[in-house]
Each structure stands twice: as C-alpha cells, then as structure tokens.
C-alpha cells in the first residue's frame, strides 16, 4: 500500500454521488488534508505509520504509558503537551489511541476559535461528534481511506485481505473493517466480532454499527466454532439471529485471537 495516493476521477465522482452530509464530508476532507501535511512534515511515507514521529511533529513532547481509567488523554504541562495512554491496552490499540490524540491537536485550533458546535453538530452532541471525527482521523493516520480503496479495488474482498492490510498497517482488524465499511459506493458487507469460549459464542461488536442485535447459532460444527480452532480463514454457512429474524449466511470466519473470532459476510448472501 501507499501512504500518499491521488483519488481517481471515479473516486471523486462516487464521493459526490453517494449520499453524505455535506458538512461531514467537508470536515473529513479537511482532516485528510491535515493528516497528509503532517505525514509529509514528519517524513512518514511508509507503512506502518510512525505515530510517535507524527506526535512529535504536531507538538507532543512526550508520550507516557501508565494505568488510566480512560484510553488516553492530552495534558498541558510546563514542558509542553504530553500524551498519556493506558498501558493496559494492546500495542495496536495504543497506536490507535495516540493517533486519536494527534487528531485532537490537528483540530484544536478550530475548536479554540470556533467551539465544537462550529466544527460538528449541536451542543448536546458536540463532544460525541468531535470524538467521532478524531476516530476518523486516527484511521486516516494509520490507514488512509484511499489506500484501502485501492486494495479493495485491485483484489477480491476477503478476510485474508483484511488480515494482510491489518498486518501491513500494524492496526487492529476492527480499524480495517471500519475503513472498508466507510468506503462510499462499495459492496455492503458486515463484520461480526465474537467472543468464543468453551460454552458460548457471543457477538460483542458489529461493523458497520447497527441497531440490529446479532446472535450466532452456536454448536460444535458452526462456522464460528470451527474457525476458533483454525489459524486461517474458513468459508461456510452460519446461522444468525438478526433481531427477531433467523438467517443463514455464507460467510468467512477466522480467529483473530484465542478468544475472538471475526466473521465477514455480504448482505446479499443471506437466505
């Protein structure tokens, strides 16, 4: 993958045609521009993105890893700006949180001059919306949308591809899944993240986020259960409950950790 790519005219046309809130699109495009400029300043032109170099380039004097009740925060001290990251997080989660805090700094001048409501949304929702934007910026830092779009366009979407992208970018599968699901005009897919133990399989996260509650129909021969015992993706049928509807989907599944299985399926492959 390439850190710096130019969107094709098809990409630009798709971005215009796919329904999106205009203000949201403009703000996200501005975040992309600032991330690209910061990467160029810091000389970050390869994957995985050197988030510590970016932190230094945007004015973070020190990054500390220590026990926190939150994932991360920025502090203003006499020596300058300090980022504190929860040491209990995994290495890849810490990379994402630091990228999130970097985005806060990229937005900080606008927030100070105009306030959060001028950047994104109403008073009631402003904090959540700014956090949403900073998560977007963190994904752009670790894995730019245009890089993901090029990979998905050139190769068939599969869990093997998702795992390869996550490895090259040194980020969690959840980050890659969100980037893929955010692509405008792409095939609609869903990622289910399941906790699997000796007794149960429980869906704890769905990407893209939805109000529909998903449950997997468990059993020793289920796709999720079999995938938990394998190191490479499996393909097969899996029964699910989507709200009150029972469906059968053709899906791929792979163990992303000893206790976690991720499943990928297309909305058009259910029966």
pLDDT in tens, 181-203: 998 765 689 999 999 988 889 99
Q: Which residues of the chain have pLDDT under 70?
A: 4-23, 109-127, 185-187, 268-271
pLDDT at 71: 97
pLDDT at 18: 47
pLDDT at 120: 44
pLDDT at 130: 82
pLDDT at 221: 86
Separation between Cα atoms, residue 201 and residue 13, nearest integer Å? 42
pLDDT at 210: 87
pLDDT at 53: 97
Separation between Cα atoms, residue 174 and residue 143, nearest integer Å? 12
pLDDT at 126: 64
pLDDT at 12: 45
pLDDT at 7: 52
Cβ atoms of residues 161 and 149 within 8 Å: no
Cβ atoms of residues 195 and 187 within 8 Å: no
The two most distant CA atoms of the chain are separated, in Å, by 61
């Amino acid at each position: 993958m390439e850190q710096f790519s130019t969107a094709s005219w098809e990409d630009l046309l798709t971005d215009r045609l796919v329904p999106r809130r205009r203000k949201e699109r403009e703000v996200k495009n501005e975040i992309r521009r600032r991330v690209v400029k910061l990467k160029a300043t810091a000389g970050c032109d390869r994957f995985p993105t050197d988030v510590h170099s970016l932190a230094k380039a945007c004015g973070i004097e020190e990054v500390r890893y220590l026990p926190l009740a939150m994932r991360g925060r920025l502090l203003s001290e006499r020596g300058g700006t300090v980022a504190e990251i929860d040491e209990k997080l995994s290495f890849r989660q810490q990379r994402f949180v630091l990228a999130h805090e970097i985005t806060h700094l990229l937005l900080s001048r606008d927030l100070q001059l105009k306030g959060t409501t001028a950047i994104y949304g109403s008073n009631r929702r402003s904090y959540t919306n700014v956090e949403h934007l900073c998560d977007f910026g963190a994904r752009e830092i670790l894995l730019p949308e245009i890089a993901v779009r090029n990979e998905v366009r050139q190769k068939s979407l599969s869990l093997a591809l998702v795992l390869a992208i996550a490895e090259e970018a040194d980020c969690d599968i959840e980050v890659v899944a969100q980037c893929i699901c955010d692509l405008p005009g792409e095939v609609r897919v869903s990622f289910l993240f399941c906790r699997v133990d000796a007794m149960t399989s429980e869906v704890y996260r769905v990407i893209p986020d939805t109000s529909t509650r998903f449950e997997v129909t468990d059993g020793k021969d289920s796709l999720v259960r079999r995938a938990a015992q394998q190191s490479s993706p499996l393909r097969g049928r899996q029964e699910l409950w989507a709200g009150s509807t029972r469906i059968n989907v053709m899906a791929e599944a792979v163990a992303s950790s000893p206790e976690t299985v991720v499943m990928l399926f297309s909305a058009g492959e259910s029966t």
